[in-house]
Every structure is written in structure tokens, then in C-alpha cells.
Amino acid sequence: MFRLLTEPELLAAAAVELLSDAEQARLRWPKRPRGLRAAAWSVGDAFLVDEATDVVGGTATFGHVVADEAQDLSPMQLRAIGRRCRFGSATLLGDLAQRTTPWSAGRWEDALGHLGRRSARVEGLEFDQVVLVDPAEIADPALGVAGLRRLYTALTRAVLALRVVHARDLPPALRAPEET
């Protein structure tokens, strides 16, 4: 990938009938870094490398992928998510009215093509409510429970109701009032 972005002749040979001269110029770095480690890779470059890696050797997939704030994902980011749930499913969460990037999809249906899906179910949430609480009130008790450390990100966003699915007894701080 480094050579493609820094050697115009190599990019031109690889891009025959795929990219115009103008598109190639947008991809190329204006100045060649001293080496791979000295390169200033951007977030966009990371997704380009991800795409190339998938074409050459494939990408690990998961049974289900969840992406929050998905209203701000670019087409390349959506493609990266689609590659990771190629044989599974995905849940994209977001509010299109809160888009903050120029590349955001205007409709959820527009994002499906980038995910590699021909059809999907788009559902609106029944409640749209912001709850102002200190995330620590919810997250701190959960962090003390073995096996719940991966839920921290989810628990930092308090919602109208929180349901904890568990296989073992919960600690008192996480039990419903009628259980204590």
C-alpha cells in the first residue's frame, strides 16, 4: 500500500480502467516519506489499507457487528463493517438528524449498498430521549463484575431502560430493587 501511495507509476499500472488520473492524484501522497514508519497515515488511509487487505487475503468475519453513531460513517467505513459481518449480521445505531460529516448517508437505505447488503430491516426507535446522568453511576458497579468489562462503552450511554443479561447472580449494586 505504501508503494501504491508513493509511486505514481505503480498506482497507474494498478488503476488501469479503474481510476481516472484525477482520482489517482487524490490518492497519491504529495511527498514521499522516508519510509513506511515515517509515513503520516490518516484515518482514510487505514480504511484504504483495510480494503486492499481484504482484496488480497480476506478479512476476519464475526457473527454480528454493532456500530454506534453510524450516521457519521463514510462509505469506506461502512464497507469495512460489511466485510466483518459478511456471513453474519449487523446492527447500525444512529440518528440521521445528528449527522456531522459531509459523507453521511441521507437515508439508511443508502448505506445498505456500502455494507454489501441488498435488503435489510430499518427500524426507528420508539423512544428518543437523552438521559443526563453520570456514566459512572451505571458503569462502576458493572466494572466490578467479572465478565462485564466489554460492556463499559455501552454502559456509558444511559438510556430509558437498561437490561443486563447474565448467567450468574448479579452483585447487589446491579440487582433490581425487588431482588435485594
pTM, rounded to two decimals: 0.58
Measured in whole angstroms, the distance separating CA 57 from the mean position of its chain's CA atoms is 21
State the residue range of the domain holding 73: 64-115
Nearest CA to 111 among 124, 100, 126, 122?
A: 122
| Structure confidence by residue, pLDDT tens digits, 150-173 | 644 444 444 455 566 677 787 776
Same domain, 36 and 80: no
- Per-residue pLDDT at 131 exceeds 50: no
Highest-confidence segment of 4-18, 31-45, 160-174: 4-18
Whether 53 and 16 map to the same domain: the answer is yes
Same domain as 102, residue 68: yes
Q: Which residue type does 91 have?
A: T
Q: What is the pLDDT of residues 52-101, one digit of tens each?
A: 888 888 888 888 888 888 999 999 999 999 999 888 888 888 888 888 88
| Higher local confidence (pLDDT), 79 or 129 | 79
Residue 70 sits in the same domain as residue 52: no
pLDDT of residue 137: 60
